[in-house]
Amino acid sequence: MSDNKTIPYKIYLNENEIPSKWYNVRSDMKNKPAPLVNPGTGQPMGFDDLRPVFCDELIKQELDNDTPYFDIPQEIRDFYKMYRPSPLVRAYCLEEALGTPAKIYYKFEGNNTSGSHKLNSAIAQAYYAKKQGLRGITTETGAGQWGTALSMACAYLGLDLKVFMVKVSYEQKPFRREVMRTYGASVTPSPSMDTKIGKKINAEHPGTTGSLGCAISEAVEVATTNEGYRYVLGSVLNQVLLHQSIIGLETKAALDKYGIVPDMIIGCAGGGSNLGGLIAPFMGEKLRGEKDYRIIAVEPASCPSFTRGKYAYDFCDTGMVCPLAKMYTLGSNFIPSANHAGGLRYHGMSPILSQLYADGFMEARSVEQTSVFEAATQFARTEGILPAPESSHAIRAAIDEALLCKETGEEKTIVFGLTGTGYFDLVAYQKYNDGEMTDYIPTDEDLEKSLALLPNIG
Amino acid sequence: MSDNKTIPYKIYLNENEIPSKWYNVRSDMKNKPAPLVNPGTGQPMGFDDLRPVFCDELIKQELDNDTPYFDIPQEIRDFYKMYRPSPLVRAYCLEEALGTPAKIYYKFEGNNTSGSHKLNSAIAQAYYAKKQGLRGITTETGAGQWGTALSMACAYLGLDLKVFMVKVSYEQKPFRREVMRTYGASVTPSPSMDTKIGKKINAEHPGTTGSLGCAISEAVEVATTNEGYRYVLGSVLNQVLLHQSIIGLETKAALDKYGIVPDMIIGCAGGGSNLGGLIAPFMGEKLRGEKDYRIIAVEPASCPSFTRGKYAYDFCDTGMVCPLAKMYTLGSNFIPSANHAGGLRYHGMSPILSQLYADGFMEARSVEQTSVFEAATQFARTEGILPAPESSHAIRAAIDEALLCKETGEEKTIVFGLTGTGYFDLVAYQKYNDGEMTDYIPTDEDLEKSLALLPNIG
Residues above pLDDT 90, as percent of chain B: 88
Q: What is residue A40's predicted lDDT score, i.e. its pLDDT?
A: 87
- Decide: B182 and B158 in contact? Cβ < 8 Å: no
Closest CA to B152 of B171, B135, B176, B134: B176
Q: Which residues of A touch B1 (CB under 8 A)?
A: 75, 78
Q: Which residues of B touch A383 (CB under 8 A)?
A: 82
Do B317 and B430 fall into the same domain? Answer: yes
Mutate to test the interface with A, among B74, B127, B381, B418 (most CBs of A within 10 A): B381
Q: Who among A2, A14, A182 is closest to B429 (CB)?
A: A182
CB contact under 8 A, A152 and B82: no
Q: How far is residue B161's CA from residue B141's CA, in Å, rounded to a whole number?
A: 12
Q: Who among A81, A113, A380 is closest to B9 (CB)?
A: A81
Do A104 and A251 fall into the same domain? Answer: yes
| CA–CA–CA angle B328, B353, B233 (5° rounding) | 85
Give the gap in angstroms from C-alpha B44 to the nearest C-alpha of chain A: 39
- Decide: A244 and A277 in contact? Cβ < 8 Å: yes
Q: What is residue A6's predicted lDDT score, i.e. its pLDDT?
A: 87
Q: Which residues of A touch B75 (CB under 8 A)?
A: 1
Closest CA to A45 of A55, A31, A35: A35
Q: How many domains does chain A have?
A: 2
- Decide: A149 and A118 in contact? Cβ < 8 Å: yes
Pairing mode of beta strands A324-329, A310-315:
antiparallel
- CB atoms near residue B436 (< 10 Å): 9
Alpha-carbon radius of gyration of chain A: 21
Mutate to test the interface with B, among A20, A80, A82, A119 (most CBs of B within 10 A): A82
Mutate to test the interface with A, among B2, B9, B77, B432 (most CBs of A within 10 A): B9
Q: How far is residue B241's CA from residue B234's CA, in Å, rounded to a whole number?
A: 9
Closest CA to B457 of B345, B312, B267: B312
Q: How far is residue A348's CA from residue A351's CA, in Å, rounded to a whole number?
A: 9
- Domain of B88, CATH number, reads 3.40.50.1100
CB contact under 8 A, A386 and B179: yes
At A263-321, the pLDDT tens digits run 999 999 999 999 999 999 999 999 999 999 999 999 999 999 999 999 999 998 877 87
- Decide: A46 and A63 in contact? Cβ < 8 Å: yes
Q: Assess whether pLDDT exceeds 70 at residue B333.
A: yes
CB contact under 8 A, A8 and B1: no
Phi-psi region of A72 (alpha: psi -120 to 50; beta: other; left: phi over 0): beta
Do B280 and B138 fall into the same domain? Answer: no
Pairing mode of beta strands B103-108, B88-90:
antiparallel
Do A132 and A204 fall into the same domain? Answer: yes
Q: Which residues of B touch A152 (CB under 8 A)?
A: 384
A184, containing H or E segment = none
DSSP string covering A44-100: BP-HHHHTTTS-HHHHHHHH-SS--EEEPPHHHHHHHTTT-SPPEEE-HHHHHHHT-
- Decide: A312 and A200 in contact? Cβ < 8 Å: no
Q: Who among B15, B178, B421 is closest to A8 (CB)?
A: B15
Give the gap in angstroms from C-alpha A392 to the nearest C-alpha of chain B: 14
Omega prior to A85 cis, within 30 of 0: yes
Q: What is residue A242's predicted lDDT score, i.e. its pLDDT?
A: 98
Q: How far is residue A282's CA from residue A255's CA, in Å, rounded to a whole number?
A: 11
Query: Under DSSP, is residue A10 helix (H, G, I), strand (E, B) or coil?
Result: strand
Provide the residue type at B16 as one letter: N
CB contact under 8 A, A423 and B426: no
CB contact under 8 A, A175 and B384: no
Q: What is residue A458's predicted lDDT score, i.e. its pLDDT?
A: 60
Do A226 and A267 fall into the same domain? Answer: no
Please state the φ and ψ torsions of residue A314, each to the nearest 5 degrees: -150, 165
Q: Assess whether pLDDT exceeds 50 at residue B2.
A: no
Q: Which residues contact A83 (CB under 8 A, 6 or more apart)?
A: A111, A112, A119, B384
Pairing mode of beta strands B21-23, B69-71:
antiparallel
Q: What is residue A1's predicted lDDT score, i.e. its pLDDT?
A: 38
Q: Assess whether pLDDT exceeds 80 at residue B3.
A: no
Closest CA to B105 of B384, B408, B412: B412
HSE toward the beta carbon, residue A360, CA cutoff 13 A:
0
Do A372 and A421 fall into the same domain? Answer: yes
- Decide: A120 and A136 in contact? Cβ < 8 Å: no
At A200-239, the pLDDT tens digits run 999 999 988 888 888 999 999 999 999 999 999 999 999 9
Give the gap in angstroms from C-alpha A192 to the nearest C-alpha of chain B: 21
Q: Who among B78, B178, B424 is closest to A1 (CB)?
A: B78
Provide the residue type at B58 as one letter: L
Dihedral (C-alpha) A36, A41, A46, A50: value to the nearest 10 degrees? Answer: -80
CB contact under 8 A, A433 and B83: no
Domain boundary among B189, B213, B231: B231
Q: Which residues of A touch B12 (CB under 8 A)?
A: 12
In the sheet that B229-231 helps form, which strands lie side by side, from edge to edge?
Answer: B186-190, B160-166, B136-141, B229-231
Query: Under DSSP, is residue A17 helix (H, G, I), strand (E, B) or coil?
Result: helix
Sign of CA dihedral A442, A447, A448, A449: positive
Would A157 be classed as within a structural domain?
yes
In the sheet that B413-418 helps form, which strands lie side by side, from edge to edge?
Answer: B10-11, B88-90, B103-108, B413-418, B264-268, B294-300, B363-367
Q: Which residues of B186-223 are buried (b: 16+ CB within 10 A; e: fewer)?
A: ebbbbbbeebebbeebbeeeeeebbbbbbbbbbbbbbb
Q: Which residues of A touch B113 (CB under 8 A)?
A: 380, 384-386, 421, 423
Do A221 and A298 fall into the same domain? Answer: no
| CA–CA–CA angle A241, A243, A245 (5° rounding) | 70
CB contact under 8 A, A113 and B385: yes
Would B400 be classed as within a structural domain?
yes
- CB atoms near residue B456 (< 10 Å): 7
Give the gap in angstroms from C-alpha B417 to the nearest C-alpha of chain A: 17
Provide the residue type at B282 as one letter: F
CB contact under 8 A, A384 and B156: yes
At B45-72, the pLDDT tens digits run 999 999 999 999 999 999 999 999 999 9
Closest CA to B88 of B423, B421, B417: B417
Domain of B92? 2-20+72-115+238-451
Q: Which residues contact B27 (CB under 8 A, 6 or more apart)?
A: B65, B66, B67, B68
DSSP character for A387? B
Closest CA to B44 of B52, B35, B56, B53: B35
Would A458 be classed as within a structural domain?
no
Would A301 be classed as within a structural domain?
yes
Closest CA to A358 of A329, A397, A396, A394: A329
Alpha-carbon radius of gyration of chain B: 21
Domain boundary among A209, A231, A253: A231
Please state the φ and ψ torsions of residue B328, each to the nearest 5 degrees: -70, 125
**SS in 3 state form for chain B?**
CCCCCCCCCEECCCHHHCCCEEECHHHHCCCCCCCCECCCCCCECCHHHHCCCCCHHHHHHHHCCCCCEEECCHHHHHHHCCCCCCCEEECHHHHHHHCCCCEEEEEECCCCCCCECCHHHHHHHHHHHHHCCCCEEEEEECCCHHHHHHHHHHHHHCCEEEEEEEHHHHHHCHHHHHHHHHCCCEEEEECCCCCHHHHHHHHHCCCCCCCHHHHHHHHHHHHHHCCCEEECCCCCCHHHHHHHHHHHHHHHHHHHHCCCCCCEEEEECCCCHHHHHHHHHHHHHHHCCCCCCEEEEEEECCCCHHHHCEEEEEECCCCCCCCEEEEEECCCCCCCCCCCCCCCCCCCCCHHHHHHHHCCCCEEEEECHHHHHHHHHHHHHHHCCCECHHHHHHHHHHHHHHHHHHHHCCCCEEEEEECEECCCCHHHHHHHHCCCCCCCCCCHHHHHHHHCCCCCCC
Would B65 be classed as within a structural domain?
no
Q: Which residues contact B109 (CB under 8 A, 6 or more apart)?
A: B86, B116, B117, B120, B247, B274, B417, B418, B419, B420
CB contact under 8 A, B385 and A112: yes
Query: Under DSSP, is residue A329 helix (H, G, I), strand (E, B) or coil?
Result: strand
| Nearest chain B alpha carbon to A173 | B426
Distances (CA, A) of B243 to A16, A57, B25, B67, B297: 33, 51, 11, 14, 19
Q: What is residue B322's predicted lDDT score, i.e. its pLDDT?
A: 85
Mutate to test the interface with B, among A75, A76, A156, A381 (most CBs of B within 10 A): A381
Give the gap in angstroms from C-alpha A155 to the nearest C-alpha of chain B: 5
Q: Which residues of B touch A372 (CB under 8 A)?
A: none
Please state the φ and ψ torsions of residue B99, each to the nearest 5 degrees: 65, 40
Mutate to test the interface with A, among B5, B10, B160 (most CBs of A within 10 A): B10
Partners of A136 in the β-ladder: A160, A229
Count how many pairs of residues, chain A against chain B, have C-beta atoms within 8 Å.
126
Residues above pLDDT 70, as percent of chain A: 99
CB contact under 8 A, B2 and A182: no
Q: Who among A111, A383, A423 is closest to B423 (CB)?
A: A423
At B284-314, the pLDDT tens digits run 999 999 999 999 999 999 999 999 999 999 9
Q: What is residue B169's predicted lDDT score, i.e. its pLDDT?
A: 87
Would B59 be classed as within a structural domain?
no
Do A173 and A89 fall into the same domain? Answer: no
| Nearest chain A alpha carbon to B1 | A78
Would A63 be classed as within a structural domain?
no
Q: What is residue A343's predicted lDDT score, i.e. its pLDDT?
A: 81
CB contact under 8 A, B81 and A8: yes
| Nearest chain B alpha carbon to A420 | B113
Do B10 and B131 fall into the same domain? Answer: no
Would B87 be classed as within a structural domain?
yes
Do B271 and B416 fall into the same domain? Answer: yes
pTM here? 0.95
Instruction: Say how many residues make up chain B.
Output: 458
Partners of A70 in the β-ladder: A22
Domain boundary among A193, A214, A231: A231
Do A48 and A145 fall into the same domain? Answer: yes
Do A261 and A277 fall into the same domain? Answer: yes
Q: Which residue ranges in chain A fall short of pLDDT 50?
A: 1-4
A16, containing H or E segment = none
